[in-house]
Amino acid sequence: MSRLPPMTVRLRLTLLYSALFLVSGVVLLVASYLVFRNAAVPNLIVVPGGSAHVTAAREAATQMKYQHVIRNSTDALHQGLLRSVIVLAGMTLVSIALGWLVAGRVLRPLREMTATTRHISERNLNERLALAGPRDELRELADTIDGLLARLETHVAEQQRFAANASHELRTPLALTQALLEVARDDPDRDDGELVERLHEVNARAIDLTEALLMLSRTDRESFTQEEVDLSLPAEEATETLLPLAEKRGVTIDTSGDPTPTHGSTALLLQLVTNLVHNAIVHNLPAGGTVWVRTGARPQGAELTVENTGEELSPQFVSTLTEPFLRGSERARTDHAGVGLGLAIVRSIVDAHEGILTLTPRHGGGLRVCVELPRGRES
Ligand SMILES: Nc1ncnc2c1ncn2[C@@H]1O[C@H](COP(=O)(O)OP(=O)(O)OP(=O)(O)O)[C@@H](O)[C@H]1O
Ligand SMILES: [Mg+2]
């Protein structure tokens, strides 16, 4: 069985060009043939007159001449037609060759793009197609692929940083446990109670960290059931749960909330408000701090703002806070040893709900966190 060449775009374009050329050539040829055929036939006008005998003889001679002329002109026409067909066949071959060249030229950027894209992997994601030339459809495609590569590169870098940080953070409690156990082994007279207490503390921290990591991967990956939620309810619940902590730290919580319909996961939204209010309490002034928790329906969606007093923060510092494992320097001075995932979880929950998270430093110190979520159905 003979194998046909693969129907590449180049081949298809070539065939299309040549077919178009051939069809227009044939149409032109047929049209000119018809025109010439009609035009080439001379009219025979016989002028009556003279005797009947003479007239008959003249007419016969004229008819003969006329037939001869007709035959000659038809022969010439057919000759011309044959030559034109040969020229058309030759030109069609030329048009196939030209079409092949032109199609190759037009498609060259596409071939370059394919070659470059083929050898880009996660190792050289920094490479770009960077197609030069006019702003046409191919350039647009190349720019779109470059945009995709840029987003992928950022995402992969973020993931790698995250994995490195997570491993580092998980190693810390394990290393601490190891050190405590070694000390205990080398000193049999040591107080076991103290050791157990320290080990318990370290272990609890490791569990917190693992749970936060699990939470983060769940919100990043899992699709959750969407339901109609009144955002003011999880806000109220989170505030109530955290009230004892606020009292312990001398922080006042001021809550106000109208019904704020949105849709999403109640559990995740509760986690979101809890993280924000928890932050607002623990990263507050050492004494006499205030936290404001507000919810409200806005024309563009459901809005939650959590604001707190605290130390002065720079906009640059605030813009980095949602990075996983990033903790403010004041952590060393407070007794809250967070794992630095609270805001990363908040960001991923907001993303999963297609919302917008905005962090702004408060005038006079502290932070204002605003979460805008899609508007739910009014009940
Ligand atoms: N409401 C806030 N006011 C001031 N600083 C804040 C506030 N919320 C967060 N921060 C700063 O951002 C950092 C990151 O917050 P994040 O919640 O991600 O981690 P964390 O609170 O340190 O630990 P955890 O994972 O236990 O929440 C904090 O360490 C703190 O410096
Ligand atoms: Mg936190």
Is residue 95 in some structural domain?
yes
Burial group, residue 212, by CB count within 10 angstroms (0-12, 13-18, 19+): buried
Q: Which of 170, 207, 249, 279 to mutate to test the pocket of ligand 1 (most atoms within 8 A of CB)?
A: 279
Give the integer Cα–Cα distance in Å for 252 and 285. Answer: 11
Residue 276 CA, ligand 1 centroid: distance in Å: 8
Count of the separate structural domains present in the chain: 3
Is residue 204 in some structural domain?
yes
> Of the bound ligands, which one is closest to the alpha carbon of residue 281?
1
Q: How confident is the model at residue 330 (pLDDT cuts 50, 70, 90)?
A: very low
Helix (H, G, I), strand (E, B) or coil at 3: coil
Where does a domain end: 219, 245, 277?
Answer: 219
First to last CA, the chain: 70
Residue 334 CA, ligand 1 centroid: distance in Å: 12
Q: Which residues surround ligand 2, an ion (CB under 5 A)?
A: 279, 338, 342
Residue type, 138: L
Q: What is the pLDDT of residue 191?
A: 81
Ligand 1 atom, smallest distance to 344 CA? 18
pLDDT single digits (tens) 92-147: 999 999 999 999 999 999 999 999 999 888 788 899 999 888 899 999 999 999 99
Ligand 1 atom, smallest distance to 343 CA? 18
Q: In the chain, pLDDT over 70 holds for what percent of residues?
A: 93
Domain of residue 230, CATH code:
3.30.565.10
Domain of residue 208, CATH code:
1.10.287.130
Q: What is the pLDDT of residue 239?
A: 96
Any atom of ligand 1 within 6 Å of the Cβ of 205: no
Examine the domain organization and report whether 361 and 242 are in the same domain: yes
Residue 36 CA, ligand 2 centroid: distance in Å: 92
Where does a domain end: 85, 119, 153?
Answer: 119
Domain that holds residue 279: 225-373
Any atom of ligand 1 within 6 Å of the Cβ of 343: yes
Q: Which of 169, 275, 343, 347 to mutate to test the pocket of ligand 1 (most atoms within 8 A of CB)?
A: 343
Is residue 73 in some structural domain?
yes
Ligand 1 atom, smallest distance to 329 CA? 31
Examine the domain organization and report whether 277 and 320 are in the same domain: yes
pLDDT single digits (tens) 51-82: 667 778 888 888 888 888 888 888 888 898 89
Where does a domain end: 119, 153, 172?
Answer: 119
Inter-CA distances, 369 with 74, 292, 362, Å: 93, 10, 9
Q: What is the pLDDT of residue 76?
A: 87
DSSP type of residue 2? P
Q: How confident is the model at residue 46 (pLDDT cuts 50, 70, 90)?
A: low
Q: What is the pLDDT of residue 15?
A: 94
pTM (2 d.p.): 0.69
Give the integer Cα–Cα distance in Å for 320 and 306. Answer: 18
pLDDT single digits (tens) 197-250: 989 989 998 998 898 888 888 887 767 788 999 999 999 999 999 999 999 999
φ, ψ dihedrals at 334, nearest 5°: -100, 170
Q: Are 293 and 306 in contact (CB under 8 A)?
A: yes
